[in-house]
Structure 1
């Protein structure tokens, strides 16, 4: 789901990112997002330090529901403009679970494969030699599950991006190449 890329065929993108430019100040953008989220019950908004999170309400949320993390910073190249950096991703618990699974699979595959290869090179039979190919298979399987989950949350993702555009104002936003 590459929202802001010229090359729209990036199948490996797990947490899509895009960048916008607006002539509003950071405080104005936070206020616009906050006021829009208070009026619209189809989205939850919360400010955490210098970031704003757009979420799906609990009644509509499922395991694969996305969240938008909006980070604002002053545009150094164009004075008087604010850069709106957006990252679309799963809830942090889901993201942490997948990172843990990837790390665990990687460690078991590499060290199990090394142990199995060393045993085979010494002339011993070892079922650990299959750890690396089996780990690669599981790694690809987990990746496919993650992409299917991303597709499940696609409508909610598009809704959150639409809320972002409508809250700040379509005419005040300009896409910036990352």
Structure 2
């Protein structure tokens, strides 16, 4: 039998993996909603599917889920304050950045690297998170510079710091 995994060591080990940072957006009626999310990934090219994993304690996710659709906003390295605002449970999130709605209804944040508009295909149990699979219905690349990264518990990691030097 395997010993149980220590939560602190588990978090430290997974912190060695750099992830990009996204903000998941959506609507509840006319109310714009959003949450910061590092647990995002592409899933399939055909059909075009992505996944993200919101925490079960999120107050925004249940409201977004009811709509059946969500947006994924890929943050740029100069958008740390946006990430902090959308990661907060008390800050007025949309005061940190401008936004617009696409003709398809996706809430897109200003200044993001790229965005995707998705419909919810499936939601699975993922322990203290949900695993949400979305079908991409619309998307656009807005910028070509570096992404905001989450690494070892923080966001102050330039992409160049993760690239080994070639000698």
Q: So what's the TM-score if we normalise by structure 2?
A: 0.27
Higher relative contact order (CA 8 A, sep 6+): 1
Structure with bigger helix share is 1
Structure with bigger strand share is 2
- Between structure 1 and structure 2, the one with the greater Rg is 1
Q: So what's the TM-score if we normalise by structure 1?
A: 0.26
